[in-house]
Amino acid sequence: MDATNEMQIKDLKQENEDLRELLEIQEGKLERAMFAIYHLHAGLYNQISQRYILAKKNALLSGEPQPLLVEEEQDEEQEFTTRQGDRNELRIQQMEQTINMLEGKIESFAINTNKFLIN
């Protein structure tokens, strides 16, 4: 083998080594990015009331086969909703019910008070 061929082989081995090192670095970056994306993605859905849609989206994200459709999944909200958002929505509904009830009592009290004052 002549010196030129030996130099080319040496250069190719070095390039191969550099590319393998770069590949390892890129794999680490990709793994960290996917970890962050997965956790951010999991925060978009309520993990209790939207567990089936979350499982499907996670499978899509990771390139795994889609889970089979289950009956409970049909009842799940398709839009993003967090556990905190669902809890706040429930609290707001309860407060609105309380306000409506109190308004009714105030109205009833005002009517009864007016009847008392008129008599």
Task: Please tell me whether the overall predicted TM-score, pTM, comes out greater than 0.85 for this model.
Answer: no
**Considering only CA atoms, which of 58, 59, 63, 65 is closest in space to residue 42?**
58
Q: Say if CB 38 and CB 58 are below 8 A apart.
A: yes
Residues 6-46 have pLDDT tens digits of 889 999 999 999 999 999 999 999 999 988 888 888 777 77
**Considering only CA atoms, which of 92, 118, 111, 91 is closest in space to residue 103?**
111
Mean pLDDT of all residues in the chain?
Answer: 82
Q: What is the pLDDT of residue 78?
A: 63
How confident is residue 117, by pLDDT bands cut at 50, 70 and 90?
Answer: low
Q: Say if CB 80 and CB 63 are below 8 A apart.
A: no
Q: Is the pLDDT of residue 70 over 70?
A: no
Give the residue extent of every domain in the chain: 82-119
